[in-house]
Structure 1
Amino acid sequence: MRAPSCSPTEQADYIPNLSLAAEEAEVVVAMGFLMVDAMSKVAPHYPYKHFIFIDGNIPCPNVASFDFKAEEGAYLAGIVAAMTTKSSILGVVEGMDIPPVKAYEMGFRAGVMTVNSLPMKKVDVLTVVVGDFNNPSKGKSLTQTLLGRGADIIFQLAGNTGLGVLEAVKEAKGEIYAIGVDINQDHLIAGRVLTSVLKRIDIAVYNVIKDVYQGSFKGGHYWIGLAEGASDLTPYGLHPR
Structure 2
Amino acid sequence: MKKFVRGTAIVGVLTLAVAACGSKPAESGPSGGSDNKAFKACMVSDSGGFDDKSFNQTSYKGLQDAVKAKGLTEVKAESKSDNDYPTNMTAMVAAKCNVIVAVGFKLEDATDKAANANAGIKFAIVDSAPAKPIANVKPLGFNTAQSSFQAGYLAAAMSKSGKVGTFGGVKIPPVTIFMDGFAEGVAYYNKQKSKNVTLLGWDEAKQDGLFTGDFEDKAKGQNNAQNLITQGADIIFPVAGPSGLGGLQAAKASNGKVNAIWVDTDGCESAAEYCSVLISSVKKGMDVAVQDAITSVVDNKFDNKQFIGTLENGGTALAPFHEFDSKVPAELKTELEQIKTDIIGGKITIESKVQPKAS
| TM-score in terms of structure 1 length | 0.95
Residue 171 of structure 1 corresponds to 253
SS of residue matched to 2:275 = coil
Alpha-carbon offset, residue 238 of structure 1? 2.6
The structure with more radius of gyration: 2
Matches within 5 A, 1:39-188: 39-58=111-130, 59-127=133-201, 128-186=210-268, 187-188=272-273
Partner of 1:232: 317
Q: Which amino acid aligns with 1:7?
A: E
Q: How does 1:204-215 map to 2 (within 5 A)?
A: 204-215=289-300
* 1:20 to 2:94 alignment: no
* 3-state secondary structure, aligned to 1:33: coil
2: distance between equivalents of 1:190 and 1:220? 37
Same amino acid, percent of matched pairs? 32
In the alignment of these two chains, the number of paired residues is 240
- Residue deviations 1:65-107 (CA, integer Å, cap 9, x gap): 1111010110111111111000110010100111111111111
Residue among 177, 181, 197 paired with 2:282: 197
Match of 2:104 among 13, 32, 35: 32
Contact 2:164–2:198, Cα closer than 8 Å, also in 1: yes
Letter in 1 for 2:74: A
Map Cα deviations across residues 182-216 of structure 1 (whole Å, 9 max, x no partner).
01112231311000111101121122222212211
Q: Return the alpha-carbon distance in structure 2 between the equivalents of residues 64 and 21 of structure 1.
A: 17
| Residues 74-83 or 112-121, more deviating | 112-121
- The letter of the residue matching 2:237 is F
Q: Distance in 2 between matches of 1:174 and 1:57?
A: 41
SS at match of 1:179: strand
Shift of 1:239: 5.7
Name the SS for the 2:255 alignment partner.
coil
Whether the aligned pair in 1 keeps the contact of 2:308 and 2:315 (CA below 8 Å) is no
Equivalents in 1 of 2:194, 2:82: separation in Å?
48
CA-based RMSD: 1.5
Secondary structure (helix, strand or coil) at the match of 2:233 reads coil
For 1:174 and 1:15, locate their aligned partners in 2 and report how far apart those are by CA, in whole Å.
44
Mean alpha-carbon deviation: is it higher for 18-27 or for 97-106? 18-27
After TM superposition, what 4+ stretches of structure 1 lie above 6 angstroms from structure 2?
none
Shift of 1:158: 0.4
Q: Answer whether contact 1:60 1:220 (CA < 8 A) is retained.
A: no
Determine helix, strand or coil for the equivalent of 1:96: coil
Q: Secondary structure at the match of 1:164?
A: helix
User: Which structure 2 residue ranges, 5 or more long, are not aligned?
Assistant: 1-71, 202-209, 326-359
SS at match of 1:64: strand
